[in-house]
Amino acid sequence: MARVLIVDDNVDMLEMLRVMLQRMGHEVILSADGKDGLTKAVTEMPDLAIVDVMMPGLSGYDVVRQLRADRRTANLAIMILTARGQPVDRMAALEAGADDYMAKPVKPAELLQHLEQLLEHGSQKASGKIFSVFSLRGGIGTTTVAVNLALLLRLAGETTLADLSLNAGHCALALGMRPERHWGLLLEGQEVTVEKLLLPHPSGLKLLATPPLPVRAAWFSEDEVQALLEKLAAQAEYVIVDTPPVLSPEILRILDLAYGIFLISGDDPPGLQTTLATLQVLQDYRSRISVVINAPSPAPHPPLEALQKVLKMPIASEIPFDPAQVPALRRSAPLALSQPETPLVAALKQLAIQIIGPQAK
């Protein structure tokens, strides 16, 4: 007997599935909306979840992403069962993290066959979670956020920091590392595995470094960058990607794979203008975007409420100007390690809590 969670706002569908599954001897947990379904997934610990797509509040895709992002439910077998039956809907369901997809109306015998297969084999989506640190504006502190956030996460689980900059990124420098191996070797066609490219940091963090010189050759294709990140996610609980500041198809693929996107913004007019434009272009990603305000100077800054009004969305974290950051960069001593009580680290801990959950406190 298995415990099956059904998340669907259609009362008739809930009742039909309940009766069908109980006749098979399964215990059934019902939920009529996404938020309640997420709560029951944690408190009831089901073996399988059947999730509708079109629901008030959180969509089924959002529910699946959050289930995969929470390590307590990351390995849960999940089926999307929806009235949306186009090929693009199947692709969206699988990309969100579902193990299986079926379109309504569905024959009971076919549904039961799919459920039995899921219960027998479990989820095939078990892997680490990818988070993109991103901004279209350079010099806004994406690397500082990526490095320190990755160092905080490594306290909760195995973490890999992937520096995908095409212009000789600075993650290795910030960590005081001299990378002899980097992902550029893959572009050169060298026979080397991704695992062999990972550099261990004394803290326990692993780094996938960028080449020491700007990339002049063709970069990874969309499929290649996806394969790279999936290999990283297969061996780490958290993968933080310092993401290049462009919106090429390859970078959009990174955002497609990300369970969360930390969009770094300044609070000055140019910074806010860039962030507004980015949010407009990335409308389809808004449910996974968390805006992070990074103060570039000690000058007075607009109140948080005013910034949220301008951006028309909540701000996940406001990183204050921290005078300790400049000497930390010069010493290659990230504040998360050298001065963990500083305001910058305190703000980034809020992002870590979003990823890990309240236990990160």
| DSSP letters for 176-212 | T---S--THHHHTT----HHHH-EE-TTS-EEEPPPS
Domains of the chain: 3-121 (3.40.50.2300), 129-360 (3.40.50.300)
With bands split at pLDDT 50, 70 and 90, how would you rate the model's confidence at 355? confident
On whether the CB atoms of residues 174 and 254 are closer than 8 A, the answer is no
Q: Give the model's pLDDT for residue 115.
A: 87
3-state secondary structure of 102: strand
Low-confidence winner among 103-117, 155-169, 265-279, 324-338 (lowest mean pLDDT): 103-117
Q: Give the model's pLDDT for residue 39.
A: 93
Detail the DSSP E strand segments found in the chain.
3-7, 27-31, 48-51, 77-82, 100-103, 129-134, 159-163, 199-200, 206-208, 238-242, 260-265, 289-294, 315-319
Q: Give the model's pLDDT for residue 357.
A: 64
With bands split at pLDDT 50, 70 and 90, how would you rate the model's confidence at 104? confident
With 80 as the cut, is the pLDDT of residue 113 above it? yes
User: Tens digits of per-residue pLDDT, 193-208?
Assistant: 898 999 999 999 999 9
3-state secondary structure of 161: strand
The length of the chain in residues reads 361
With 60 as the cut, is the pLDDT of residue 358 above it? no
pTM of the model: 0.69
Please state, rounded to an integer, the average pLDDT across all residues of the chain. 89
Q: Give the model's pLDDT for residue 127.
A: 67
Low-confidence winner among 55-59, 109-113, 124-128 (lowest mean pLDDT): 124-128
Q: Give the model's pLDDT for residue 180.
A: 86
3-state secondary structure of 142: helix
Q: Give the model's pLDDT for residue 241.
A: 98
Dihedral in degrees, nearest 10, Cα atoms 82, 85, 86, 89:
10
3-state secondary structure of 40: helix
With 70 as the cut, is the pLDDT of residue 124 above it? no
Low-confidence winner among 42-46, 87-91, 224-228 (lowest mean pLDDT): 87-91
Q: Give the model's pLDDT for residue 257.
A: 85
Q: Give the model's pLDDT for residue 360.
A: 41
What Å distances lie between residue 246 and 171, 187, 251, 253, 257, CA to CA?
A: 18, 20, 7, 12, 16
Task: Give residues with Cβ within 8 angstroms of 25, minimum separation 6.
Answer: 1
With 80 as the cut, is the pLDDT of residue 126 above it? no
User: Tens digits of per-residue pLDDT, 268-312?
Assistant: 999 999 999 999 999 988 888 999 999 877 878 889 899 999 999
CA angle 346/38/73 to nearest 5° reads 75
- With a pLDDT cut of 70, the percent of the chain lying above it is 96
On whether the CB atoms of residues 2 and 27 are closer than 8 A, the answer is yes
3-state secondary structure of 240: strand
